Structure 1
C-alpha cells in the first residue's frame, strides 16, 4: 500500500481533465501542437536547404520576434477586455491561414527565404494573441487549487508533441526527401489544426470580469506598471530570458545533425530531445503540486538547464547529445510549471491576460533571440562555442541574478497577492 501511495504522489496529477471545458482545450492544444512541431522542423530544414547557412535559420526566430513583442502585449490586453473565446477563434483563423500559406509555397516550390520568413511572422502574430488568452482562461476553468496540475498537464502534453512531432518530421523527411517531406509536414499540420479549431468552438463563453476595459496602450501600460512593481514576477521573467537567449541551441540543430551526426533522422532526434526530457519530467511531476518555495525551485531548474545544455554541446555521439538535452528538458519543465503557476496565482484575474501577454513575449521571444544569438555565434566562432558557451553563461548569470535580487528565492506559494 505504501508503494502505491508513493507512486501516486509522484505520478502526474490528472484531476483537471475532469473539467469538460479544460479537457476539450487540452485536447485541442495537444493535436495542434503536434502539427506545429512538424512545421517548426520543416521550416528550419527548408530554410537550411535553400540557403545552406545557419544564420538564415536563426533569422526565423527574428521574423517572429517583432510580432511577439507587439501582438503578445496587445493580445493580452484584448483578452482582458473582450470574450476570450472570441479572441481564440479569431487568432486561430489567422494561424490556419499562415499554415496554408506555408503549404502553398512549398507545393509551388517558390524557393524564397524572404517569403518563408514573412509566413513565419504571420504565424507568430496569431500565436502571440492566442497563447496568452489560453493561459489566462485556465484559472477560471479549473480553479486556483488545480492551476499547478493543469499547467503541468499542458506542458507535459505539449512536450510530448514536441517529442513526437520532430521525430515524425525526421521520419517524413527521411522517407520522402526534403521537398516532398516538407509538403507532407505542412499538410498534416493544417489538418490537425482544424481539429483544434473545433475544440475551441466548444469552449464556453469567457467574458471579462468586472468593469469594461480598454484594449489600447493605456491598458498595456497598466499591466507593465503592475509587473514593474512586483519583483517576484519581474525576476521570474528575467531568469527565463537568460535561460532562453543564452542557452537555446535549436538554430544549431540542422548544422549539428549534418556535420556532426551524419544527417538523416538526426535532426528529428535533436529537435525532440529537449521535449522528451520534459515529458519524462512531467510524468513524474506529482511533487510539483506540493511545492511551497516555487522561486527556489525555479532558480535551481534554470541553472540545471544551462549546465545540461553546455554538456550536450560537447557530445560527439548522437545518443549522448539526446540524453543530455533530455536532462535539460526535464529541468525546463520544472522551470516552466513553477514560473507559470507563480504568475497565474499571484496576479489578479483582471490583469492575467496582459501579464500572460508579457509572459508569451518572454517565453516565445526569448528562444527567438536565442536562435539569432546561436546562429550569429556559430557563424563567427563555430558550433561548439555557440552551443557550450551559451549554456555555461546562462547558468552563471541565472545564479548571479538570484543572489543579487533574492525576492524570487524568498517567494512562497502562500504569499499574498501583490
Structure 2
C-alpha cells in the first residue's frame, strides 16, 4: 500500500504551500530555489539521485527591449528537455492528421455524423481509465521506459490505421477499436511525459517550459487540420495515418535519448493499482492548492467552452459571411489566440504568484467568452475568442507549473493523470451543457451566460479558499 514520505498538511491558511512539501520553499526562499522536487539551495538543480541534470547554463540577468516580451526559451538550453520539446513539434502536427482522418473515414463509410460522435465517445472511456492508471504507473517505474513503451504503441496503432485504410477494409468497428487502443496508450503516455518535465528543468523555469510545450501543441491544432485538408485530395486518406506513424518514430528516437528517470531514491516501493490511484485523489483533497487548480480548469471549460454552439452561430448570427467561412474562423480563433499568447509568453512566464495568475486567467477567459456571446459581429467575435485563447494559454502554463511544483515527485504522475482526465472530459461535458442551454435559451444567451458564470464562480472560489491566490514560487 502507498506510504507517503511526508504527511500532507492543509494549505488553506498558508501562502499556498504546506510545510515539508516542495511548495514551502517556493514562497520563502525563491532566490535559492534552482531545482525541482524537495531540493533547495544553489546546488539543488542536480540531485545525486537524479541522473537528469536540469541545471543548464546560468540565467541571463535581464532581457532588454523586445526580447523580454518574447517567449522565454531558457528551458531549451537543457539538452534533455530540448529533445523532448523538439519531438513535440513533429507529433503535434502528426497527431492532428490522424485526428482529422479518423472522423473523415468514419463519415465516408457511414454517411452519419452520429457514428462520428459515437467514435469520439469510444475513445473517451479508455483515455480516462488509462490516464488515471498511467499516472500511478508513472510514479512507480522509470518514466523514460514508460514513454518508450507507450510512444511505440501509439506508433504501431497509427501503422494499423494505415493498413486498414490502404486495404479498403471499410469497417467502423475496426476503426473504433483502434481508436480506443490509441487513446489508451495516450492515457498512459501523457502523465509520464508531463511529470518528467520537473526532472528536466529547474523549478524556476517550469512556467516557461509549459509555455513552450503548450504553444507547440496549440500550433499543431491550427496547422495540423489545415495541412490535412490540403493533403487529403492530393495524397489520400491512408497516407495521413502513415505520416503520423513516421512522425511518432521521431518521438520514439527523442525519448530514447532522454536520461533515465526512475523514482527518486527514498520513494516508497509500491505497485500501480487501485490503492495508488485512490491515494492520488486523497493527496489532491489534502492539498487545496492542487484541488483548486483542477477546479479552475473545470469551471473554465465546463461553463465557458461554447464550441458545440459554433455551427449554429455560424449559420444564424454570422450567416452573412457564409456558414463555412464563419465556422472555420470560430474554431480557429481560440487556438490562434493561444499561439499568440505563447509567442509572447515572456510577458508573464516569469511571474512568481502562480495562483493569482491562474485566477486572473480564468476570469479573463470568462469575460472574453461573455463578450463573444454578446457580439453580433463576426470579427468582434473572433477577437473575443482570440483573447480567450490567450487567457487559456496563461491558465495552462501556470496550472501546469503548480501541478509540477506543489506536488512531490512520487505523486506527479498521478497528478498528471487526473489533469489529463480533466482536460479531456471538461470540453465534452461543455458540449452537452452548452448544446442543451443553446436549445433552451438561444446560442448567444447560452454563451454569454456561461462566460458570466465562469467569472462569478471563479471569484467566489478564490474568495472562499485563499490557498490558490496565495500560492507563489
TM-score computed with the length of structure 1 as normaliser: 0.85
Contact 1:167 1:272 in 2 (8 A): no
Contact 1:166 1:268 in 2 (8 A): no
Bigger Cα displacement from structure 2, 350-359 vs 380-389: 380-389
Q: Which residue of structure 2 aligns with residue 168 of structure 1?
A: 227
The whole-number CA distance in structure 2 between the counterparts of 1:385 and 1:185 is: 39
Structure that is richer in helix per residue: 1
- Do residues 202 (structure 1) and 262 (structure 2) align? no
Contact 1:62 1:369 in 2 (8 A): no
From 151, 157, 165, give the equivalent of 1:98. Answer: 157
Q: Which residue of structure 1 aligns with residue 332 of structure 2?
A: 272
Question: After the TM superposition, which residues 151-166 of structure 1 pair with which residues of structure 2 at under 5 Å, given as runs?
Answer: 151-166=210-225
How far apart are 1:220 and its partner, in Å?
1.7
Contact 1:92 1:130 in 2 (8 A): yes
Q: Which residue of structure 2 aligns with residue 247 of structure 1?
A: 304
Which ranges of structure 1 fall in alignment gaps of 5 or more residues?
414-418
Which ranges of structure 2 fall in alignment gaps of 5 or more residues?
1-61
The whole-number CA distance in structure 2 between the counterparts of 1:105 and 1:395 is: 47
Question: After the TM superposition, which residues 319-338 of structure 1 pair with which residues of structure 2 at under 5 Å, given as runs?
Answer: 319-338=379-398
Contact 1:170 1:264 in 2 (8 A): no
TM-score computed with the length of structure 2 as normaliser: 0.76
How many equivalent pairs are there? 406
How far apart are 1:253 and its partner, in Å?
4.9
Contact 2:92 2:220 in 1 (8 A): yes
The whole-number CA distance in structure 2 between the counterparts of 1:387 and 1:39 is: 30
How far apart are 1:229 and its partner, in Å?
0.5
> What is the RMSD computed on CA atoms of the aligned residues?
3.1
Q: 1:263 to 1:57 in 2, by over 3 A?
A: farther
- Do residues 299 (structure 1) and 359 (structure 2) align? yes
Contact 1:162 1:276 in 2 (8 A): no
From 399, 406, 412, give the equivalent of 1:346. Answer: 406
Q: Which residue of structure 1 aligns with residue 243 of structure 2?
A: 188
1:231-284 CA deviation, whole Å, 9 max, x = no partner?
111011011012122222344556666774646566554443222111111111
- Do residues 364 (structure 1) and 424 (structure 2) align? yes
From 234, 248, 261, give the equivalent of 2:291. Answer: 234
Q: 1:167 to 1:189 in 2, by over 3 A?
A: same
1:46-73 CA deviation, whole Å, 9 max, x = no partner?
56665554x6655555333322332111
Q: Which residue of structure 2 aligns with residue 416 of structure 1?
A: none
Return the index of the structure with the highest Cα Rg.
2
Bigger Cα displacement from structure 2, 98-107 vs 348-357: 98-107
